């Protein structure tokens, strides 16, 4: 198992890509800290992780905007398992609108969670990783953060900013044994797409060379690889996982 006894904190792990990533890490032998804002979702994911071969998990209800709660989560993790080997910054929201209609609240909330939240989580974990002289920071960006998307000024800005932080951390922390990388999913079949009309989803699929939406497990597989020692020389990378949509 590629992540045997590694300790991983995964945000937004209650549903979608985050849940699939937590389960995948547990299957690979990791000890997983399942972070989300919903107690019910946390409980469900923790149970699934514990059913996985070789896996173990605990849950933490946190809002990535709450520094104190994040600090307590890291402290509890270190107390229980002694270290933090990997942080997966996956928590995020969408509040779409065209620029002419976007409210300040829509812009600010997406930036606070999708960008500032990534900073907050990494900031509270980084000293532990520096003391260990090892660690992996993985950020969920998006192809929207590279190419933009209609009606997503706020989301594109946040996801582009996440890539910038990844590259900066790769430079700052690499010499301390800490790798930082970004994964940029395309359109993945999760709850976040439930509000998208069926005709729009079909049109999106037609633009993807593989002819379908991605699966959460396909993104989880990339996170697991990047967290493992198999990716020991990958640092500062931005990896698109979009079925070829951006070609």
- Catalytic residue annotation: 155
Q: Which residues pair with 137 in a beta bridge?
A: 87, 180
In whole angstroms, give the CA distance from residue 245 to residue 247: 6
Query: What value, to the nearest 5°, has the Cα angle with vertex 77 and ends 167 and 79?
Result: 130
Q: Residues 64, 117: contact at Cβ < 8 Å?
A: yes
Give the number of other Cβ atoms within 10 Å of residue 33's Cβ: 29
Instruction: Report the run of H or E that residue 139 belongs to, with start and end.
Output: strand 135-140
Instruction: Report the run of H or E that residue 234 belongs to, with start and end.
Output: none
């Amino acid at each position: 198992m590629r992540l045997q006894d590694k300790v991983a904190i995964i945000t937004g792990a209650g549903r979608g890509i985050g849940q699939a990533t937590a389960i995948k890490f547990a299957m690979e032998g990791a000890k997983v800290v399942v972070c989300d804002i919903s107690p019910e979702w946390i409980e469900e994911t923790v149970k699934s992780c514990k059913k996985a071969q070789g896996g173990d998990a605990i849950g933490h209800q946190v809002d990535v905007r709450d520094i104190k709660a994040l600090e307590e989560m890291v402290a509890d993790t270190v107390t229980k398992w002694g270290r933090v080997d990997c942080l997966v910054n996956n928590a995020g929201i969408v509040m779409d609108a065209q620029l002419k209609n976007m409210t300040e609240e829509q812009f600010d909330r997406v930036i606070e969670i999708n960008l500032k939240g990534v900073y907050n989580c990494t900031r509270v974990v980084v000293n532990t990783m520096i003391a260990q002289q090892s660690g992996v920071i993985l950020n969920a960006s998006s192809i929207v953060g590279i190419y933009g998307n209609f009606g997503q000024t706020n989301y594109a800005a946040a996801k582009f900013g996440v890539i910038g932080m990844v590259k900066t951390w790769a430079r700052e922390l690499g010499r301390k044994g800490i790798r930082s990388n970004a994964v940029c999913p395309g359109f993945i079949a999760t709850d976040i797409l439930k509000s998208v009309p069926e005709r729009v989803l079909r049109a999106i699929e037609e633009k993807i060379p593989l002819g379908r939406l991605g699966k959460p497990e396909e993104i989880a597989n990339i996170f697991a690889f990047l967290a493992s020692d198999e990716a020991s020389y990958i640092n500062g990378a931005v990896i698109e996982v979009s079925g070829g949509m951006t070609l």
